[in-house]
Amino acid sequence: MPVIHVNMLKGKTTEQKKIMVESITEAVVKAINVEPEKVTIFINEFEKEEIGKGGRLYTEIK
């Protein structure tokens, strides 16, 4: 059973997340020949001040 974790900034709509989950599931099914029902996806959303890149918080970068 494939388990996928997606880490991303908050702000995407439910519809956007639905499309993402469908697309990821399709890719996994095609790549490793499993049934869609076997694919589990966790979406972890973060605020900009909870992510760092290059030694700086995202709030400082963008």
Distance (Å, whole) CA 17 – CA 25: 12
Q: Is 2 a catalytic residue?
A: yes
Annotated catalytic residue within 2, 4, 21, 24? 2
Please, are residues 2 and 18 in contact by the beta-carbon 8 Å criterion?
no
- List active site positions: 2
